[in-house]
Amino acid sequence: MAALFGRDLLSLADLTSSELHELLELATQLKSQKLKLQCHQVLGLLFSKASTRTRVSFTVAMYQLGGQVIDLHPNVTQVSRGEPIQDTARVLDRYLDVLAIRTFAQQELEIFANYAKIPVINALTDLEHPCQVLADLLTIQEKFGSLAGLTLTYVGDGNNVANSLMLGCALAGMNVRIAFPSGYAPDAEVVEKARNIANHQTEVILTHDPEAATKGAHVLYTDVWASMGQEAEAGDRFPVFQPYQISQQLLSLADPEAIVLHCLPAHRGEEITNEVIEGSQSKVWDQAENRLHAQKALLASILGAK
């Protein structure tokens, strides 16, 4: 089992390459039911953003491990009335065994981790979405058998998913290409981290050319053009992002065995066509299922399940 006992996961950069691969192997064993683990502990979910897959997959994963889940929506806690983060963190630390947080600012997550002794998991911030990318890498590994040397191309907004994909691919020994419109680049500090992790062994490429980025890629990935909190900008973004839509034409430039991923929810006809997401190369539904298995492995490792 990966040696993550008692640790936070605020970013994929918190993992080593070997720890990442161990987590994926553990997820594979748990999914196949070759290994069954139990941890009778309590997970808190403190989600300030809407969630379907993250909320349900974390909840089911903890129940399947024999634990319990408390949904701490800010509207029903004192957080909504202005209680300082550090106060909430120190109190929850005395009730829970692990806390998954879905919020806006990465800094808020870091404050929780600083004041709480229990492990804190990044269930999504505006900067990163590490749990999503664990499931993505598990899905790619299932398709190709291994990750080393593969190329993943992400087209669209340089958002939290793009940031975590760069880190995850670098750790996994994959090449990653991020194609985005001018003004919508991924975070510069994350790009630097990913390139340091890759250490010239693999490529981390940024480009404005979606077609060049897609040529020969083994994985073609996209996300919505306006993330949570940016919906008011969606109409203005549409013409800027239109060339970055995953269509059958763009997919034809990728490797013939390429798969298509989308972290969902999808806006069909915008960042991806209905033809592609429902097509034979789409692994979107396996990817969504793998949120459960990847997060179960993460919880089991952090909590020392036996």
- The answer to whether residues 263 and 162 touch, using CB atoms and an 8 Å cutoff, is no
What φ, ψ does residue 263 adopt, rounded to 5°? -75, -10
**Max intra-chain CA distance, the chain:** 54
223 is catalytic: yes
Strand order in the sheet with 42-47: 68-71, 42-47, 98-102, 120-122
- Rounded percentage of the chain residues whose pLDDT exceeds 90: 90
The whole model's pTM is what? Answer: 0.96
pLDDT at 3 (0 to 100): 80
- Rounded percentage of the chain residues whose pLDDT exceeds 70: 97
81 is catalytic: no
How many Å apart are CA 240 and CA 251, to the nearest integer? 20
Q: How confident is the model at residue 82 (pLDDT cuts 50, 70, 90)?
A: confident
Catalytic choice (177, 237, 291, 293): 291
Q: How confident is the model at residue 226 (pLDDT cuts 50, 70, 90)?
A: confident
Segment 266-290, tens digit of pLDDT: 999 999 999 999 999 999 999 999 9
Mean pLDDT (the chain, rounded): 95
With helix as H, strand as E and coil as C, how does the chain read?
Answer: CCCCCCCCECCHHHCCHHHHHHHHHHHHHHHHCCCCCCCCCEEEEEECCCCCHHHHHHHHHHHHCCCEEEECCHHHCHHHHCCCHHHHHHHHCCCCCEEEEECCCHHHHHHHHHHCCCCEEECCCCCCCHHHHHHHHHHHHHHHCCCCCCEEEEECCCCHHHHHHHHHHHHHCCEEEEECCCCCCCCHHHHHHHHHHHCCCCCEEEECCHHHHHCCCCEEEECCCCCCCCHHHHHHHHHHHHHHCECHHHHCCCCCCCEEEECCCCCECCCECHHHHCCCCECHHHHHHHHHHHHHHHHHHHHCCC
What residues form the annotated binding site for carbamoyl phosphate? 51-54, 78, 102, 129-132, 263-264, 291
Catalytic choice (21, 55, 102, 262): 102
| Mean predicted confidence (pLDDT) in 192-203 | 97
pLDDT at 151 (0 to 100): 98
Q: How is the chain split into domains, by residue range? A: 12-128+291-303, 132-287
Q: What is the CATH number of domain 12-128+291-303?
A: 3.40.50.1370
- Within 10 angstroms of residue 200's Cβ, the number of other Cβ atoms is 7
- Pick from 2-6, 48-52, 122-126, 203-207: least confident: 2-6
Q: Is the pLDDT of residue 206 over 60?
A: yes
169 is catalytic: no
pLDDT at 158 (0 to 100): 98
132 is catalytic: yes
pLDDT at 253 (0 to 100): 98
pLDDT at 126 (0 to 100): 97
- Pick from 62-76, 143-157, 187-201, 228-242: least confident: 228-242
Give the number of residues written for the chain: 306
Domains 12-128+291-303 and 132-287 share a fold: yes
Q: What is the CATH number of domain 132-287?
A: 3.40.50.1370
Catalytic choice (8, 21, 132, 295): 132
| Mean predicted confidence (pLDDT) in 61-75 | 93
pLDDT at 78 (0 to 100): 77
- The answer to whether residues 149 and 127 touch, using CB atoms and an 8 Å cutoff, is no
* Identity of the amino acid at 189: E
